[in-house]
A and B are shown apart, each in its own frame.
Chain A
Amino acid sequence: MTARTDKIDKLAQHTARSDAGVSLAAAAWRRLRRNPVFLLGAAIVVAFVVLALLAPLLAPHDPAEPMLGDQVVRARNEIPPSQPGHPLGGDQVGRDLLSRLLVGAQQTLLVGVLATLIGLAGGLVLGTLAGALSGWVDTVVMRVVDVMLSIPGLLLAVSIGSLFAQPNQYTVILAVAIVQIPVFARLLRGSMLAQRHSDHVLAARALGVRERAIVFRHMLPNSLGPVIVQATLVLAIAIIEAAGLSFLGLGNPDDRLPEWGQMLGQAQNVIDSHPELAFWPAGCIVVVALGFTLVGESLREALDPKSRR
């Protein structure tokens, strides 16, 4: 008898998980860690963030100082080439390109993150209101959101951006952020409604849990998954849209602190003779956007309830 139970216990221990309990987030993380797509995306994102944060230390030169200005010859369209100390050469006014890219990463990250956070915050408020209160609040909010969604994103951002008399870094961020609000709001409201009709919310209501606690403890946290995924994707979109605004001349006119979109916009003047000036910031934008998209997609996959055991 004891021999048998011992053996069963031993076999059981083999397969049993620890007593600690694995939350959903922890389980998703376990899956993510094994996903090469996520690892690649995360590597790009981490590299980008580290470079951006350390940019002032890493940048070999002052990005605003035209130290190679004597090599710029406007008449012959000459721009400082790659040389010792300046591996990527200089830009059209002779500033060190590598330093500008590095510091540009910082500005781009700032734009992307702030725009996404503002958009997320706005979307959370509107989405929670619509999803939690339903009724006429829901109807009004959703109609406004639908109208905003019916306008193409970049067009809307351009319209908002051109409303400001003096464009600067923060008008760009605001324009890009406002465009994202309806996306987040609609997404959150949709998953809040699904939660409202779920059994566990009904169970909480049957228990006599207060309505506010039901909204903030059950409906909202369980609705956030898709919103978080969307946020990583929006980060990529925000960077691209901010670049678009800069490119169209609605960006920050002050180029002492470079930003990739702005660099790309300024490079268009010399794109015939010096495509590499456009290539570097454009390539960086593509790679970083790809990184965030990969992370977002693999997060979506990992949080998908169907993949749960």
Chain B
Amino acid sequence: MTDTLVEVQDIKVHFPIKRGVVLDRTVGYVYAVDGVDLAIRRGETYGLVGESGCGKSTLGRAMLKLTEPTAGRVVFDGIDLSAMKGEPLRTMRRRMQMVFQDPMSSLDPRQSVESILVEGMRAHGLDTDRQATAKRLRSLLSSVGLPSTSLRRYPHEFSGGQRQRIGIARALTVEPELIVADEPVSALDVSVQAQVINLLEDLQQEFGLTYLVIAHDLAVVRHISDRVGVMYLGGLVEEAPSDLLYAEPLHPYTRALFSAVPVPDPIVEDRRERILLAGDLPSPARPPAGCRFHTRCPWRQRQRCDTERPALREIAPGHRVACHYAEDIRAGKIRPHAVEPELVEQDVTGGIGPDDPLAGPASVTEALGP
């Protein structure tokens, strides 16, 4: 396809779990991302949603080659990034940027806003003319809604929402085509979240950006995205255009997820039928066999769900689902049933956190227990 900007093919990111006193030896893997195919079209916003530990952040970082994929390919604008290293990769980074969840920790506290913004331009030789640079910085600041006096200030002097604007401006300095936004608003106050969401939308218009928005908040993702992918335990379980996914979620997990999100409207809340999932997310170090969701799935069928991992298949145009029985569930042929919660032996970290790409071997080691 010509309009695909970035594509990942069967990408896997497995973090080794190491233990040992003198010499580390690998005793297992955390299957953070385990075989995902997805393509993002130029100019669209792709939303990736899932709960903590599902691998969505790791996938975002692997797409930017900030985390080295274990297997699979990343193709950006027709260029295979998989084998790319060193200087060529560094040069490529100009075209794909990232916006982080925690606006404070993602800004170097010692740098003034000006030096934060100039850094990327300098790394790619974009700051040749001093006056042009100054002009560009001012126009960027006004694009993200910060006063031009901000340049001489330091990150800790700004509020959370303003810091996130600085982070967004930093990503824009190098004129990227793709921006991966990892939980861009979840650290912000509710009243400020909307400002940043609107800003992201405006900037997409202004600069013709392509977004991958990663979030746990389904409402945010649905609001901002053209297409949405739902992840569960390292795999993509469903993908569809935003409105279609909301109108007709087919995967049991997506259904449960939608039904769990509280809506600020008592009328809706009183009427709605909740699908309460039993138990907890299994550990990504020991994903269940077969369909990863079968331990909690109210629609689980004997045999096949436990043993055969369903592939992501196109059920309607643009609507892909990884469920053996998606058609039967849609037609109402299979009814949900009660599920006994299965005990999940807990990792100390509560699974591999999204902000924790190298979630310390120490903690994961603990998870495996004696």
Is A208 within 8 A of B108, CB to CB?
A: no
Q: Which residues of B contact A208 (CB under 8 A)?
A: 90-94, 120, 123-124, 174
**Could you mark each residue 338-370 of chain B with 1 if its beta carbon is under 8 Å from any beta carbon of chain A, else 0?**
000000000000000001001000000000000
- Nearest CB in chain B: distance from A61 CB, A: 49
Is B170 within 8 A of A17, CB to CB?
A: no
Is A209 within 8 A of B152, CB to CB?
A: no
Is B90 within 8 A of A210, CB to CB?
A: yes
Q: Could you say which of A170-178, A196-204, A247-255, A266-274 contacts chain B?
A: A196-204
- Nearest CB in chain B: distance from A1 CB, A: 21
A300 contacts partner chain B, Cβ-Cβ < 8 Å? no
Scoring A20, A27, A206, A221 by chain B CB atoms within 10 A of each residue's CB, the highest score goes to: A206
**Could you mark each residue 153-170 of chain B with 1 if its beta carbon is under 8 Å from any beta carbon of chain A, else 0?**
110110000000001001
Is A206 within 8 A of B153, CB to CB?
A: no
How distant is the Cα of A207 from the Cα of B89 in the complex, in angstroms? 11
How distant is the Cα of A65 from the Cα of B311 in the complex, in angstroms? 94
- Contact partner of B152 (CB less than 8 A), chosen from A20, A197, A222, A308, is A20
Q: Could you say which of B11-19, B75-83, B99-107 contacts chain A?
A: B99-107
B64 contacts partner chain A, Cβ-Cβ < 8 Å? yes
How distant is the Cα of A17 from the Cα of B152 in the complex, in angstroms? 13
- Contact partner of B109 (CB less than 8 A), chosen from A24, A207, A213, A217, is A24
Q: Which residues of B contact A3 (CB under 8 A)?
A: none
**Could you mark each residue 30-73 of chain B with 1 if its beta carbon is under 8 Å from any beta carbon of chain A, else 0?**
00000000000000000000000000000000001010000000
List CB contacts (< 8 Å) of A159-185 with chain B: none
A19 contacts partner chain B, Cβ-Cβ < 8 Å? yes
Scoring A20, A197, A198, A203 by chain B CB atoms within 10 A of each residue's CB, the highest score goes to: A203
- Nearest CB in chain B: distance from A12 CB, A: 13
List CB contacts (< 8 Å) of A220-235 with chain B: 221-222
Q: Which residues of A contact B92 (CB under 8 A)?
A: 208
Is B91 within 8 A of A203, CB to CB?
A: no
Closest partner residue, chain B, to A195 (CB atom): B108
- Contact partner of A206 (CB less than 8 A), chosen from B66, B91, B110, B358, is B66
Is B123 within 8 A of A200, CB to CB?
A: no
Is B108 within 8 A of A218, CB to CB?
A: yes
- Nearest CB in chain B: distance from A93 CB, A: 54
A21 contacts partner chain B, Cβ-Cβ < 8 Å? yes
Q: Which residues of B contact A222 (CB under 8 A)?
A: 108-110
B295 contacts partner chain A, Cβ-Cβ < 8 Å? no
Is B106 within 8 A of A199, CB to CB?
A: yes
B303 contacts partner chain A, Cβ-Cβ < 8 Å? no
A14 contacts partner chain B, Cβ-Cβ < 8 Å? no
Q: Which residues of B contact A210 (CB under 8 A)?
A: 90, 123
How distant is the Cα of A309 from the Cα of B158 in the complex, in angstroms? 10
A207 touching B123 in the complex, CB below 8 Å, given contacts A21-B157, A24-B154, A308-B156: yes
Count B-side interface residues using an 8 Å CB cutoff.
Answer: 37
Is B167 within 8 A of A203, CB to CB?
A: yes
Is B110 within 8 A of A203, CB to CB?
A: no
Q: Which residues of A contact B90 (CB under 8 A)?
A: 208, 210
Q: Which residues of B contact A213 (CB under 8 A)?
A: 123
Q: Which residues of B contact A309 (CB under 8 A)?
A: 156
Is A207 within 8 A of B152, CB to CB?
A: no
List CB contacts (< 8 Å) of A10-41 with chain B: 17, 19-24, 27
A202 touching B66 in the complex, CB below 8 Å, given contacts A207-B93, A207-B120, A209-B123: yes
A209 touching B109 in the complex, CB below 8 Å, given contacts A17-B157, A203-B98, A203-B100: no
- Contact partner of B358 (CB less than 8 A), chosen from A17, A197, A200, A204, is A197
B143 contacts partner chain A, Cβ-Cβ < 8 Å? no
- Nearest CB in chain B: distance from A217 CB, A: 8
Q: Which residues of B contact A17 (CB under 8 A)?
A: 157
How distant is the Cα of A198 from the Cα of B101 in the complex, in angstroms? 12
A256 contacts partner chain B, Cβ-Cβ < 8 Å? no
Q: Which residues of A contact B120 (CB under 8 A)?
A: 207-209
- Nearest CB in chain A: distance from B36 CB, A: 20
Q: Which residues of A contact B123 (CB under 8 A)?
A: 207-210, 213
**Could you mark each residue 286-309 of chain A with 1 if its beta carbon is under 8 Å from any beta carbon of chain B, else 0?**
000000000000000000010011
B112 contacts partner chain A, Cβ-Cβ < 8 Å? yes
Q: Which residues of A contact B94 (CB under 8 A)?
A: 208
- Nearest CB in chain A: distance from B100 CB, A: 5
B149 contacts partner chain A, Cβ-Cβ < 8 Å? yes
Scoring A20, A22, A199, A210 by chain B CB atoms within 10 A of each residue's CB, the highest score goes to: A199
How distant is the Cα of A157 from the Cα of B176 in the complex, in angstroms? 56
- Contact partner of A22 (CB less than 8 A), chosen from B64, B105, B154, is B154
Q: Which residues of B contact A20 (CB under 8 A)?
A: 152
How distant is the Cα of A22 from the Cα of B157 in the complex, in angstroms? 8
Is A207 within 8 A of B108, CB to CB?
A: no
- Nearest CB in chain B: distance from A306 CB, A: 12
Is A24 within 8 A of B153, CB to CB?
A: no
A200 touching B105 in the complex, CB below 8 Å, given contacts A21-B154, A209-B119, A308-B156: yes
List CB contacts (< 8 Å) of B283-317 with chain A: none
Q: Which residues of B contact A305 (CB under 8 A)?
A: 109
A19 touching B149 in the complex, CB below 8 Å, given contacts A207-B119, A208-B93: yes
B225 contacts partner chain A, Cβ-Cβ < 8 Å? no
- Contact partner of A205 (CB less than 8 A), chosen from B66, B101, B152, is B66
Instruction: Beyond the given A22-B153, A23-B112, A221-B110, please list 6 additional residue pairs across the A-B interface where CB-CB is below 8 A.
Output: A24-B156, A203-B100, A206-B96, A207-B173, A208-B90, A208-B123
Closest 7 CB pairs of A and B: A208-B93, A199-B106, A21-B153, A207-B120, A21-B152, A199-B105, A200-B108
24 contacts between A and B (CB under 8 A): A17-B157, A19-B153, A21-B152, A22-B153, A24-B154, A24-B156, A27-B156, A198-B105, A200-B109, A202-B106, A203-B98, A203-B106, A203-B107, A205-B93, A206-B66, A206-B93, A206-B97, A207-B93, A207-B123, A207-B170, A208-B91, A208-B120, A208-B123, A209-B123
